[in-house]
Chain A
Amino acid sequence: MEQTAMAFVTSVLSAAVAAGTPILYAALGEVLTERSGILNLSLEGTMLVGAVSGFLVAVRTGNLVAGVAAAAVAGGLIAALHAFLTVTLKVNQVVSGLSLTLFGTGVSGYLGKPVIGVPTPVSFKPVAVPALARIPILGDMLFNQDLLVYASYVLVAALWLFFYRTRPGLHMQSVGESPETADALGINVFATRYAYTIIGGMLTGIGGAYLSLAYAPSWIEYMTAGRGWIAIALVIFAIWNPLRAVLGAYLFGGVDALGFRIQVLGAIIPSFFLKMMPYVFTIAVLIFATARSRNYRIGAPAALGLPYERE
């Protein structure tokens, strides 16, 4: 009995990380973008385009790295469009983001038509890290995963160091907090915003590819099922901090995984209710997080969502 309880916990935790990883990639991308002052609401569409491009290329070439690269490029292209619309043309960022969500959803459906239900020759498989994987519970949860999960650990650490220990990181934040200040000190506000919007889109694309190449290796229309929106909520929960984004992503992943397991165990709770859980959880967390930070106005980059014009 104890053995099975233990196995249950381990499997839920391990699934939490896997389910949290695509959200984590998208949220990290959005943290970067928003820190430079651009609100990109197109994550849902961008993830879908990343998922379908990654899958198509992986099926054609049989090469996973090529698939992930394709997803990153596709995500970057959509983000570049967002940057052009919002930074250069100064279109309202919310409107642009929502339009690109619709655009991405439509394009992914069109591109993916031929490969619906096609099995992929390649997919990411768990690779146990020697020694570390044998730590009880945590070992299975963190170190018996696939390469994209390990890459996300490195990414989180790198982003944290970049934000708080490097000059480009400081400059990026200044552009999101006070573009006038950055501009007056010779920092190129436009170039910075373009760069981090595009990099953010690339990470979001990789998050999509994780779904189609690792989490559920296949292409199903609208397979993100709202994960892009959850990632946007997660950025607020994380107060724009990459470390907190990890915590949030795995929490969401855990709720998601738990619902699935409970269903498998044959509980009497209706399955619709369990499927609803991650979304209800998102709303609850947002209410909690914003009620706490509202009075202090912490976290949000001060110039988030505002176009910058010098004269």
Chain B
Amino acid sequence: MLSGSSTGVSVDAGAGTAAAAAANAGVDADADAAYVVEMRDITKRFPGVLANDRISFQVRAGEVHALLGENGAGKSTLMNILSGLYRPDGGEILVRGRRVHLGSPRHAIAAGIGMVHQHFRLVQSFTVAQNVTLGMSKPRFVLNMRAIEDDVARLSSSYGLQTDPRAKIWQLSVGEQQRVEIVKMLYRGADVLILDEPTAVLTPQEARDLFTTLNRMKQAGRSIIFITHKLDEVMEVADRVTVLRDGRAIATLDRKDATPGLLASLMVGREVGGAVPGKKAACGDCVLRISSVSALGDRGTLSLRSVSLEVAAGEIVGIAGVAGNGQRELAEVITGLRRVQEGRILLRGADITNRTPLEIIRCGVGHIPEDRLGTGMVPNLSIVDNVILKSYRSRPVARGPFIHAKAAREHADNLVRRFQVKAAGLDRPIRLLSGGNSQKLLLAREISANPGLLVAVHPTRGLDIGAAEAIHHVLIEQRNRGVAILLISEDLEELAALADRVAVMFAGRVMGVLRRDEWDIERIGLMMAGSATADTGHGADKGDRVS
């Protein structure tokens, strides 16, 4: 059939909207192709942001429809509208040809639409079965949990979604929690299932299992809306794809007409930058040496188990792993924010185990924390104040007990220029900066202290491609200047592009270390799931390099 695809192929990035209009026109021509869901001209405004700008979007029965776009493109907003959580400011929604008003999630569920949110909506202290039955109207009053547990077990195994209905949510891995979310929606009879960036929290193998489940559901006649910003996933699992950019629908195409290159240019609106420059200077001396470090997590259980790792000058060591396997705790013990129970941490031979954060900063350790606006900076303070947070004790910013305002301003001004931070003024609170710009500023502050070691935790999470590239360039540049960098990331592509070596963490342990030339996505995935170790020993044994 003639969908938007034929026009879509010829779309160039600049002519996005025109192409979208053409695509939609093509789609309207065969309106009897029974759409399960049709969204027309949906508009949604947030204070200062037009998150959805007259978006039209159709889903057919029994298809996997990918919704592709960069961070901030408006994907989650559009689907929150479809799932009844947000009210649109304009436009209309048709379900199976009938206009509906989705005033609340209850209405959406009644219309057969269920959404699995990016941040799971599960009650941690409840069991799986309690979460599944939550919000249903039957049985009305008395709950027979045994019967519900049996139902849940039956339903989940029929889709190959293994879960224990009596387990508490906090006991489950992220992948298992996602299965519970899917079961929850199937239990309500949802035949349109929306998944918001479902693979972001999965290992590559878990992602493949998810795709198998999605295919099974598709065969059963259900429709799946799959939100993602990863091109390869679209190519692997989608039947059709709609690309969003800056709150607008750019094009809808069949998968067979799509190529990763075309999708990328539609998504970004320009040519995507090539590989990261300047690979590799020679590695220098060992800067950070962690030996057999164990530490407790927030719940008082062991979250680092005898971790050993080394980072040399001029080297980026990546830490891969599914969230919650000890990565955050590792960054915290190095930067002095968490107590080491056992083992030692050496920085250029000096023992920094359980030193205070201030002492560690003075030893030349920079830190890009995971929570950049909470731990990294003070959202309500100005750019100037944030920039001098670590240097206000010493000259030129400090003048005795006072702060030299002019020096501080100059320092901030320098950094803003050098790192091309887009800001309306140096005195504006930092919370008004976009994610990319505040991250650039944080990185600038850390680098301006000339660290010997930089610990960067998810430095590009949630940033658009342009900002992420800028951050990557800075990291590479620092490495080439001889800084030792520990890069913790959940984004395997990022690690593949930047890291000289990658250590994979699982359950608080380092499962193995792979050198750049040993990179093997399959092995890394297995290690992330805890079912393999790097048994070659090459990567782990790097005595040759250190000495």
Interface, chain A (partner B; CB < 8 A): 165-168, 170-171, 173-174, 177-178, 180-187, 295-297, 302, 310-311
Cα-based distance from A1 to B407 in the complex (angstroms): 86
A167 & B125 in contact (Cβ 8 Å cutoff): no
Q: Does B15 contact A (CB under 8 A)?
A: no
Q: Which of A178, A187, A302 has the most CB of B within 10 A?
A: A178
Cα-based distance from A295 to B119 in the complex (angstroms): 25
B134 & A170 in contact (Cβ 8 Å cutoff): yes
Q: Which of A165, A180, A182, A311 meets B86, CB within 8 Å?
A: A311
Q: Does B256 contact A (CB under 8 A)?
A: no
B105 & A174 in contact (Cβ 8 Å cutoff): no
Can you list 5 contacts pairing A with B, beta carbon distance less than 8 Å?
Answer: A165-B142, A181-B122, A184-B85, A295-B300, A311-B86
With contact pairs A166-B142, A183-B85, A311-B86 given, residues A296 and B134 touching in the complex (Cβ less than 8 Å)? no
A186 & B105 in contact (Cβ 8 Å cutoff): yes
With contact pairs A184-B83, A186-B104 given, residues A295 and B126 touching in the complex (Cβ less than 8 Å)? no
With contact pairs A295-B299, A310-B85 given, residues A187 and B126 touching in the complex (Cβ less than 8 Å)? no
Nearest chain A CB to B331's CB is how many angstroms away?
Answer: 22
Cα-based distance from A181 to B119 in the complex (angstroms): 10
Contact with A along B135-160 (1 / 0, CB 8 A): 11001111100000000000000000
Contact with A along B75-89 (1 / 0, CB 8 A): 000000001011000
Q: Does B426 contact A (CB under 8 A)?
A: no
With contact pairs A181-B123, A184-B85, A185-B134 given, residues A167 and B139 touching in the complex (Cβ less than 8 Å)? yes
Nearest chain B CB to A81's CB is how many angstroms away?
Answer: 27
Q: A167-B140, A170-B133, A174-B135 are in contact. List 9 more A-B contacts (CB 8 A).
A: A167-B142, A177-B124, A183-B105, A185-B106, A186-B104, A186-B106, A187-B134, A302-B124, A310-B86
Q: Which of A166, A177, A180, A310 meets B125, CB within 8 Å?
A: A177
Cα-based distance from A179 to B300 in the complex (angstroms): 26
A184 & B117 in contact (Cβ 8 Å cutoff): yes
A170 & B143 in contact (Cβ 8 Å cutoff): yes
A297 & B134 in contact (Cβ 8 Å cutoff): no
Nearest chain A CB to B351's CB is how many angstroms away?
Answer: 28
Cα-based distance from A187 to B121 in the complex (angstroms): 13
Which residues of A lie under 8 Å from residue B133 when comparing CB positions? 167, 170
The 10 A-B pairs with the shortest beta carbon distances in the complex, nearest first, are A185-B135, A186-B106, A181-B121, A295-B300, A184-B121, A177-B123, A186-B105, A178-B123, A186-B135, A174-B123
A177 & B105 in contact (Cβ 8 Å cutoff): no
Instruction: Describe A's contact surface by its main secondary structure.
Output: helix
Which residues of A lie under 8 Å from residue B123 when comparing CB positions? 173-174, 177-178, 181
Q: Does B227 contact A (CB under 8 A)?
A: no
Nearest chain B CB to A12's CB is how many angstroms away?
Answer: 38
Cα-based distance from A164 to B119 in the complex (angstroms): 27
Q: Which of B368-406 contact A (CB under 8 A)?
A: none
Instruction: Describe B's contact surface by its main secondary structure.
Output: loop
Q: Which of B115, B136, B299 meets A296, CB within 8 Å?
A: B299
Nearest chain B CB to A303's CB is how many angstroms away?
Answer: 10
B135 & A182 in contact (Cβ 8 Å cutoff): yes
Q: How large is the interface on B (under 10, 10 to 19, 20 to 34, 35 or more residues)?
A: 20 to 34
Nearest chain A CB to B88's CB is how many angstroms away?
Answer: 12
Q: Which of A165, A168, A174 meets B126, CB within 8 Å?
A: A174
Q: Which of A184, A297, A311 has the most CB of B within 10 A?
A: A184
Cα-based distance from A166 to B115 in the complex (angstroms): 26
Which residues of A lie under 8 Å from residue B46 when comparing CB positions? 311
Which residues of A lie under 8 Å from residue B115 when comparing CB positions? 184
Q: Does B130 contact A (CB under 8 A)?
A: yes
Q: Does B529 contact A (CB under 8 A)?
A: no
Which residues of A lie under 8 Å from residue B86 when comparing CB positions? 310-311
B141 & A167 in contact (Cβ 8 Å cutoff): yes
Which residues of A lie under 8 Å from residue B117 when comparing CB positions? 184
Q: Does B109 contact A (CB under 8 A)?
A: yes
Which residues of A lie under 8 Å from residue B300 when comparing CB positions? 295-296
Cα-based distance from A174 to B122 in the complex (angstroms): 9
Which residues of A lie under 8 Å from residue B104 when comparing CB positions? 186
Q: Which of A165, A171, A311 meets B135, CB within 8 Å?
A: A171
Nearest chain B CB to A157's CB is how many angstroms away?
Answer: 15
Cα-based distance from A216 to B124 in the complex (angstroms): 45
Which residues of B lie under 8 Å from residue A178 when comparing CB positions? 121-124
Which residues of B lie under 8 Å from residue A183 when comparing CB positions? 85, 105
Nearest chain B CB to A279's CB is how many angstroms away?
Answer: 31
Residue of B nearest to A161 (CB): B142
With contact pairs A174-B126, A296-B300, A311-B86 given, residues A185 and B121 touching in the complex (Cβ less than 8 Å)? yes
Cα-based distance from A202 to B51 in the complex (angstroms): 44
Which residues of A lie under 8 Å from residue B122 when comparing CB positions? 178, 181
Nearest chain A CB to B302's CB is how many angstroms away?
Answer: 13
With contact pairs A165-B142, A295-B300, A296-B300 given, residues A184 and B105 touching in the complex (Cβ less than 8 Å)? yes
A168 & B121 in contact (Cβ 8 Å cutoff): no
Residue of B nearest to A303 (CB): B123
Which residues of B lie under 8 Å from residue A171 when comparing CB positions? 134-135
A170 & B141 in contact (Cβ 8 Å cutoff): no
Which residues of A lie under 8 Å from residue B143 when comparing CB positions? 165-167, 170
Which residues of A lie under 8 Å from residue B105 when comparing CB positions? 183-186
Which residues of A lie under 8 Å from residue B124 when comparing CB positions? 177-178, 302
Residue of B nearest to A185 (CB): B135
Nearest chain B CB to A203's CB is how many angstroms away?
Answer: 21
B299 & A297 in contact (Cβ 8 Å cutoff): yes
Residue of A nearest to B83 (CB): A184
Residue of B nearest to A168 (CB): B141
Nearest chain A CB to B227's CB is how many angstroms away?
Answer: 16
Q: Which of A174, A295, A302, A311 meets B134, CB within 8 Å?
A: A174
Which residues of B lie under 8 Å from residue A166 when comparing CB positions? 141-143
Which residues of A lie under 8 Å from residue B109 when comparing CB positions? 185-186
Which residues of A lie under 8 Å from residue B130 when comparing CB positions? 170
Residue of A nearest to B184 (CB): A185
Cα-based distance from A171 to B143 in the complex (angstroms): 12
Nearest chain A CB to B353's CB is how many angstroms away?
Answer: 23
Nearest chain A CB to B112's CB is how many angstroms away?
Answer: 14
Nearest chain A CB to B453's CB is how many angstroms away?
Answer: 31
Residue of A nearest to B144 (CB): A165
Residue of B nearest to A311 (CB): B86
Cα-based distance from A187 to B172 in the complex (angstroms): 24
With contact pairs A170-B143, A184-B105, A296-B299 given, residues A177 and B134 touching in the complex (Cβ less than 8 Å)? no
Nearest chain B CB to A147's CB is how many angstroms away?
Answer: 27
Cα-based distance from A181 to B135 in the complex (angstroms): 9
A187 & B135 in contact (Cβ 8 Å cutoff): yes
Nearest chain A CB to B278's CB is how many angstroms away?
Answer: 44
Cα-based distance from A168 to B137 in the complex (angstroms): 10
Q: Which of B46, B117, B122, B125 has the most CB of A within 10 A?
A: B125
Residue of A nearest to B300 (CB): A295
Which residues of B lie under 8 Å from residue A180 when comparing CB positions? 119, 121
Q: Which of B46, B134, B141 has the most CB of A within 10 A?
A: B134
Q: Which of B400-456 contact A (CB under 8 A)?
A: none
Nearest chain A CB to B394's CB is how many angstroms away?
Answer: 38
Contact with A along B153-193 (1 / 0, CB 8 A): 00000000000000000000000000000000000000000
Cα-based distance from A167 to B141 in the complex (angstroms): 5
Which residues of B lie under 8 Å from residue A170 when comparing CB positions? 126, 130, 133-134, 143
Cα-based distance from A297 to B170 in the complex (angstroms): 12
Cα-based distance from A186 to B102 in the complex (angstroms): 11
Nearest chain A CB to B114's CB is how many angstroms away?
Answer: 10
Cα-based distance from A87 to B115 in the complex (angstroms): 26
Which residues of B lie under 8 Å from residue A181 when comparing CB positions? 121-123, 131, 134
